[in-house]
Amino acid sequence: MVQMMTAYTTEVDEVEDALNEILGQIDLGALKKNSVGIITCHFDFTEAGFLGELCKKLPFDVIGMTTMASSDRHGISMYALSLTVLTSDDVLFETVMSGPLNRDNYREQMETTYSDAVKKLPGKPSLIITFFPYLYDLSGALMHRAFDDVCGGVPFWGSLATNSDVSYEHCNVFRGGDVTVNGMVMILMHGPVDPEFIVVSIPTQNIRKDRGKITDSEGCMLKKIDGIPAWKYLENRGVAIMKDASITTPLMVYYEGSAVPVALAVYTVNDDGSLLCGGEMTTGASVAVGEITNEGILTTAEEGMTRLQECGKKNGALFLPCVTRYVMLVPDHDGELKLIDSRLENGKVMPFTAGYSGGEICPVRDESGVLQNRFHNFTFSVCAF
């Protein structure tokens, strides 16, 4: 069994004040035999030496990432640091950071990093929490597919790092005081974790009923739908996707054997009409067009919270919804975080922490009930204990 506690600060300039605030919210005397920490924070905390000072005072390893905004029962802010502590008597935690990842070495780096960490456990992990870097030339979907193969399908949950302006700069992951822009970090858990994964993307009423079949694709490149260049197929349905413009139209992909669709973003429109997307575009899968609205974002957050409260988990919940949701919730960007806090009664129902993701990593169950690791965009993603 895993239990959870949280701490929070917005003080980045006065390190001692921030440390006192964090340590004043964590009861170190209540820790079980094994513990580990997870941090989401504004990038200022990774560049001010704060992480190293905090980790010196904590009796357990910590991993984390930068994010657009963080919250727990202590507050909500773009300029915050939130610390989650997972503690257990019967679950072991092992943390690790990879070397720099690039297009030439990412598979090899993942294999070495994972293998070295697994050797320190008495057996195969039951859950992995991981943060991937946000890289210009290496997509989250490619990293996800490689790591799923490397770990042999062990369920893993997490995110790509992001920051407060949705750019590639200042998107950091870290282990203790070691900060990197191009490595991955993870916690391997061994023992009776028994997590519940919840992922909700687009309300059913915001998904068009007509579906096309992917007839030509390569990895994340969507080339043709129903034999028509992908860009033209969407144009024929009144969906205007422009080059060099922000694209917020989600594509709902129904993978063969999957019980629910996966929402994926369109990143780039190519000259030949193909689309570079945020995840695997498997030939033979069907695809429909979705729509993101403020109402839809809050509706799916409500659905996710209802599913969380019905699943029976009470020891804690980690939330990493898509950063696009935060950006599009104008004028009340904090609306989703406020909803989480309200439904959990400011932490009285269960401890929680929330950040925002540059690409959601969350397993989903196929039609036979088996967990399959998936990479998502636009989703409300939860891991509950």
pLDDT surpasses 80 at 26: yes
Q: Which of the four pLDDT bands, split at 50, 70 and 90, describes residue 169?
A: confident
pTM metric for this prediction: 0.93
- Asked if residue 357 lies in contact with residue 323, where contact means CB atoms within 8 angstroms, the answer is yes
In sequence order, which residues have a C-beta less than 8 Å from that of residue 343 and are 6 or more positions away? 302, 305, 309, 349
Whether cis (ω within 30° of 0) applies to the bond prior to 331 is yes
Average pLDDT for the chain: 93
Alpha-carbon distance 267 to 284, whole Å?
A: 21
Per-residue pLDDT at 9:
97
Mean pLDDT of 5-9: 97
pLDDT surpasses 80 at 124: yes
pLDDT surpasses 80 at 242: no
Per-residue pLDDT at 319:
98
In tens, the pLDDT along 324-342 reads: 999 999 899 999 999 999 9
Q: How far is CA 30 from CA 33, 34, 325, in A?
A: 10, 11, 36
Taking the alpha carbons at both ends of the chain, their separation in whole angstroms is: 8
What does the buried/exposed string (b/e) look like for 138-162 if buried means 16 or more CB atoms within 10 Å of the residue's CB? Answer: bbbbbbbbbbbebbeebbbbbbbbb
- Asked if residue 83 lies in contact with residue 37, where contact means CB atoms within 8 angstroms, the answer is yes
pLDDT surpasses 70 at 243: no
Mean pLDDT of 302-319: 96
Q: Which of the four pLDDT bands, split at 50, 70 and 90, describes residue 247?
A: low
Per-residue pLDDT at 245:
53
Sketch the domain layout of the chain as residue ranges: 3-199+296-384, 208-289
pLDDT surpasses 80 at 15: yes
Question: Which one, of 176, 187, 158, 179, lies nearest residue 95 by Cα?
Answer: 187
Alpha-carbon distance 274 to 297, whole Å?
A: 28
The DSSP secondary-structure symbol of 312 reads: -
Per-residue pLDDT at 267:
84
Type of residue at 268: T
Q: State the pairing for strand pair 127-132/156-160.
A: parallel
Per-residue pLDDT at 49:
84
Phi-psi region of 303 (alpha: psi -120 to 50; beta: other; left: phi over 0): alpha
pLDDT surpasses 70 at 72: yes
pLDDT surpasses 90 at 244: no
Helix (H, G, I), strand (E, B) or coil at 314: coil
Q: How far is CA 155 from CA 64, 148, 200, 322, in A?
A: 19, 8, 18, 20
Question: Which one, of 186, 184, 187, lies nearest residue 100 by Cα?
Answer: 184
Mean pLDDT of 265-286: 89
Mean pLDDT of 300-308: 97
Question: Which one, of 44, 35, 36, 34, lies nearest residue 9 by Cα?
Answer: 44
- Could you count the other beta carbons within 10 Å of the beta carbon of residue 328? 16
Mean pLDDT of 3-28: 93
How big is the chain, counted in residues?
385
Q: Which of the four pLDDT bands, split at 50, 70 and 90, describes residue 224?
A: very high
Per-residue pLDDT at 246:
56
Q: Which of the four pLDDT bands, split at 50, 70 and 90, describes residue 289?
A: very high
pLDDT surpasses 90 at 145: yes
**In terms of pLDDT, which residue wins out, 244 or 188?**
188
